[in-house]
């Protein structure tokens, strides 16, 4: 008997093909990434690391790379730090992933083993903090991520998180950050977010770190969680925090990077064997992070996913990826301007990256969850999301979050953004006529008409690998 799981996979293929994905944290991977992720590498246990005594665990020297490229990485057998034998192929795969990640982000070291962005953040906390230490990061209501101190998370029960907010113009509230940094004695200052539309001033944050270090007399780790914009950084349309004084950058490998679901940790500093017990200094943060990932917070790495990460990083290093990143921003800014013409109130009055946060409660009087459901019915997928100082609660927030990475991957451009904005206004007009999601059924004819138009456009832009 055929397993029903496979029918559901086919159903998801159909949903993705006939609809348009506007969730800013989602994207489509290539056939090559899918092939690597579905490979027999999933059969292999590889606890530990593919390097020993600092050999083969960082970026290749640029002069050497020009001379021998990745061939030496793929061919040379180096001593490793693994608990199982049979690693000759696995080691090479992981070392290629590390090298490509380092070159992509100008890092001294990359740990490619985290299973997710959340686990990457957890490992950095564990590497640098003691229980009760303070982390200064963006609060969840202001646009921060759950892992930046939301009370429901494990890390919030171990460490002391102090939240900062955003200014009226939607930018980071740098005065608030500086004031709190000089009051709360942070061990980490964290810049990262899941609903923020501006480009941070990393140099200003570095100056705040310097002032706090002078006051409190100890090193403070500068950490950037760039999960949403890592692809924009790789594509050269967003500044790289590692080039502006930051010690660590975490990111997921999907979203704008167009890789498999997973995480990586990029860092500046000394690179050496995780067997050594290093002094807790910023210079040693790469070694501390390796120990924090394994054995600190994870066991066996997912080498089939690491292979898929390596393939995606190879794609991201190609010249055409820069064009893709630029088009993401162009599409997002066009869509934002078109939505404003239709009366949508946008946090920050627009966007400087891939992401748009619309306050539909303020714009039209209904909540984000109703709007999310109505758009689902026409094949436009986004997510309800709180806006700054939201009173609606987690399940009835005032806004919706949308973005352009996935639709840009499919090839949609500026003209299609105008069409999308028009559909979103039509659905908003329907939502103004109802009081609940159940009442949307009274407008099925209108919604189905839009659904047919969405399907017709979507099928003109095939999903990669389907």
Cβ neighbours for 427, distance < 8 A, ≥ 6 positions apart: 371, 374, 375, 378, 380, 447, 450
Q: What is the pLDDT, as a whole number, of residue 271?
A: 86
Q: What is the pLDDT, as a whole number, of residue 65?
A: 53
pLDDT below 50 — which residues of the chain? none
Evaluate whether 163 touches 186 at the Cβ level (below 8 Å): no
Please identify which residue in the block is written with the tokens 């994870």: 298
φ and ψ at residue 63, rounded to 5 degrees: -65, -45
Q: Do domains 40-316 and 326-458 have the same CATH topology?
A: no
- Catalytic annotation on 250? no
Distance CA 273, CA 72 (A): 20
* b/e sequence 234-246, b meaning 16+ C-beta within 10 Å: bbebbbbbbebeb
- Catalytic annotation on 455? no
Q: What is the pLDDT, as a whole number, of residue 24?
A: 96
Of the residues 47, 171, 176, 185, only one is catalytic, namely 47
Of the residues 91, 225, 290, 390, only one is catalytic, namely 225
Q: Where are the extended beta strands (E) located within 326-390?
A: 345-346, 355-359, 380-381, 383-385
Q: What is the pLDDT, as a whole number, of residue 424?
A: 98
User: Which of 104, 14, 26 lies closest to 328, judged by CA?
Assistant: 26
Task: Count the Cβ atoms, other than its own, within 10 Å of residue 350.
Answer: 17
Of the residues 209, 255, 268, 361, only one is catalytic, namely 255
Where helices occur in 410-460 by DSSP H, the ranges are 414-431, 444-458
Of the residues 18, 26, 35, 45, only one is catalytic, namely 45
Evaluate whether 229 touches 254 at the Cβ level (below 8 Å): no
Q: What is the pLDDT, as a whole number, of residue 223?
A: 98
Evaluate whether 212 touches 86 at the Cβ level (below 8 Å): no
**Between β-strands 355-359 and 399-403, what pairing exists: parallel, antiparallel or unpaired?**
antiparallel
- Catalytic annotation on 225? yes
Q: Where are the domains of the chain?
A: 40-316, 326-458
Q: How many CA atoms lie within 13 A of 304 on its CB side?
A: 12
Q: What is residue 152's three-state secondary structure?
A: coil
Q: What is the pLDDT, as a whole number, of residue 307?
A: 98
Q: What is residue 147's three-state secondary structure?
A: helix
User: Which of 236, 203, 193 lies closest to 357, judged by CA?
Assistant: 193
Q: How far is CA 356 from CA 214, 277, 338, 414, 419, in A?
A: 38, 44, 12, 15, 16
φ and ψ at residue 273, rounded to 5 degrees: -65, 135
- Catalytic annotation on 255? yes
Evaluate whether 30 touches 315 at the Cβ level (below 8 Å): yes
Of the residues 100, 180, 261, 369, only one is catalytic, namely 261
- Catalytic annotation on 42? no
- Catalytic annotation on 47? yes
Please identify which residue in the block is written with the tokens 């500046």: 268
Task: Count the Cβ atoms, other than its own, within 10 Å of residue 218.
Answer: 9
Evaluate whether 429 touches 50 at the Cβ level (below 8 Å): no
Evaluate whether 224 touches 232 at the Cβ level (below 8 Å): no
Helix axes 88-105, 303-316, angle to 10 degrees: 40
Ramachandran class of 241: left when φ > 0, alpha when ψ lies in -120 to 50, beta otherwise: alpha
What is the C-alpha radius of gyration for the chain, rounded to an integer number of angstroms? 23
DSSP state of 42: G
Q: What is 40-316's CATH number? A: 3.40.640.10
- Kindly tell me the sign of the dihedral angle through the C-alpha atoms of 362, 368, 370, 371: positive
Output the six-digit token pair for 323.
Answer: 């064009």
Of the residues 122, 147, 252, 351, only one is catalytic, namely 252
Q: How many helices (H) and strands (E) does the chain have?
A: 18, 15
Q: What is the pLDDT, as a whole number, of residue 53?
A: 72
326-458: CATH architecture:
Alpha-Beta Complex (3.90)
């Amino acid at each position: 008997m055929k397993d029903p799981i496979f029918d559901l996979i086919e159903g998801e293929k159909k949903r993705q093909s006939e609809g348009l994905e506007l969730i800013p944290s989602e994207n489509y991977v290539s056939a090559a990434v899918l092939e690597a992720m579905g490979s027999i590498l999933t059969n292999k246990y590889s606890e530990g690391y593919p390097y020993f005594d600092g050999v083969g665990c960082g970026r290749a020297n640029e002069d050497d790379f020009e001379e021998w490229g990745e061939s030496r990485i793929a061919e040379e057998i180096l001593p490793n730090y693994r608990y199982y034998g049979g690693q000759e192929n696995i080691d090479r795969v992981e070392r290629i992933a590390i090298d490509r990640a380092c070159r992509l982000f100008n890092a001294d070291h990359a740990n490619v083993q985290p299973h997710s962005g959340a686990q990457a953040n957890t490992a950095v906390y564990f590497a640098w903090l003691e229980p009760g230490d303070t982390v200064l990061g963006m609060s969840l209501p202001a646009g921060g991520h759950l892992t930046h101190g939301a009370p429901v998370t494990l890390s919030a029960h171990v460490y002391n998180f102090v939240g900062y907010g955003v200014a009226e113009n939607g930018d980071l509230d740098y005065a608030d950050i500086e004031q709190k940094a000089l009051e709360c004695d942070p061990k980490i200052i964290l810049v990262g977010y899941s609903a923020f539309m501006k480009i941070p001033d990393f140099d200003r944050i570095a100056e705040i770190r310097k002032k706090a270090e002078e006051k409190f007399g100890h090193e403070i780790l500068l950490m950037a969680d760039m999960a949403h914009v890592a692809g924009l950084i790789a594509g050269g349309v967003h500044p790289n925090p590692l080039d502006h004084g930051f010690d660590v950058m975490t990111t997921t490998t999907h979203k704008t990077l167009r890789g498999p679901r997973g995480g990586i940790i990029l860092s500046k500093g000394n690179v050496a064997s995780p067997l050594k017990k290093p002094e807790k200094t910023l210079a040693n943060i790469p070694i501390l992070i390796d120990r924090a990932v394994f054995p600190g917070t994870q066991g066996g790495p997912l080498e089939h996913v690491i292979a898929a990460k390596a393939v995606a990083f190879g794609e991201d290093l190609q010249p055409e990826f820069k064009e893709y990143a630029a088009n993401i921003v162009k599409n997002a800014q066009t869509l934002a301007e078109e939505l404003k013409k239709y009366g949508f109130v946008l946090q920050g009055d627009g966007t400087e990256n891939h992401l748009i946060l619309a306050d539909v409660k303020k714009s039209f009087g209904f909540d984000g969850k109703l709007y999310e459901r109505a758009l689902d019915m026409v094949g436009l997928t986004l997510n309800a999301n709180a806006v700054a100082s939201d009173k609606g609660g987690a399940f009835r927030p005032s806004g919706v979050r949308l973005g352009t990475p996935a639709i840009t991957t499919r090839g949609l451009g500026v003209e299609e953004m105008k069409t999308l904005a028009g559909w979103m206004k039509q659905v908003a007009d329907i939502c103004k006529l109802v009081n609940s999601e159940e009442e949307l059924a009274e407008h099925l004819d209108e919604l189905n008409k839009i659904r047919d138009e969405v399907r017709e456009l979507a099928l003109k832009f095939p999903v990669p690998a389907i």
